[in-house]
């Protein structure tokens, strides 16, 4: 399934008619096919902000590590976190990736949980562990695996795979 991309007109080259409105719309088969100006935001260790709807019906915003494979967004969470229950109750989320060097260069990704994989799963559990270890290397840039498991509990991870509903992009680095 193609990912719908809406490019918001920015003012990097000066003011223009229709600025801050959606300009071009396109579709790409996967994240790998995004314009390199925006794919950069996916590949660098940029902390995403995720918005999920909590039990009060209000959006909850949290910084998270972010990953992707093909046309899926990946979110690896400790299974005891509230976000896990919130995503099960309302499987839609929005991810915001903002360039730390230029906040007017960003990408917003709206997605819906397509599947979740538990670390205890006998067939795919190792993938969940490997994925959080990959995020540790990307974001912390230290050798070894993920080292932030809660020592007071037998922390288990769950990997949410999101199908992408749409992407909005803005600006340049």
Q: Model's pTM, two decimal places?
A: 0.89
CATH of domain 3-170: 2.30.110.10
DSSP state, 31?
A: G
Task: Tell me how far the alpha carbon of residue 75 is from its chain's centroid.
Answer: 7
**Number of Cβ within a 10 Å radius of residue 41:** 21
pLDDT in tens, 73-88: 999 999 999 999 999 9
pLDDT in tens, 150-159: 788 888 999 9
**Number of Cβ within a 10 Å radius of residue 12:** 13
Q: Which two tokens stand for residue 162?
A: 């999101």
pLDDT at 18: 65
pLDDT in tens, 31-75: 888 999 999 999 999 999 999 999 999 999 999 999 999 889 999
Cα–Cα distance, 45 to 171 (Å, whole number): 19
pLDDT at 10: 73
The percent of residues above 70 in pLDDT, for the chain, comes to: 91
pLDDT at 74: 97
**Pick from 81, 70, 43: nearest CA to 158:** 81
**Pick from 55, 9, 73, 45: nearest CA to 134:** 45
Q: How many CA atoms lie within 13 A of 7 on its CB side?
A: 15
């Amino acid at each position: 399934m193609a990912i719908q991309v809406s490019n918001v007109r920015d003012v990097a080259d000066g003011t223009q008619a229709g600025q801050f409105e959606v300009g071009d719309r396109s579709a790409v088969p996967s994240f790998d096919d995004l314009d390199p100006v925006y794919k950069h935001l996916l590949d660098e260790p940029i902390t995403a902000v995720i918005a999920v709807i909590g039990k009060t019906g209000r959006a909850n915003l949290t910084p998270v590590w972010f990953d992707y494979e093909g046309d899926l967004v990946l979110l690896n969470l400790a299974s005891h976190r509230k976000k896990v229950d919130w995503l099960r109750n309302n499987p839609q989320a929005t991810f915001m990736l903002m360039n730390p060097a230029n906040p007017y260069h960003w990408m917003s990704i709206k997605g819906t949980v397509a599947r979740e994989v538990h670390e205890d799963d006998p067939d795919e559990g190792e993938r969940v562990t490997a994925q959080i270890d990959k995020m540790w290397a990307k974001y912390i840039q230290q050798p070894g695996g993920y080292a932030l498991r809660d020592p007071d509990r037998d922390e288990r991870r769950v990997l949410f795979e999101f199908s992408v509903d749409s992407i909005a992009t803005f600006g340049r680095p």
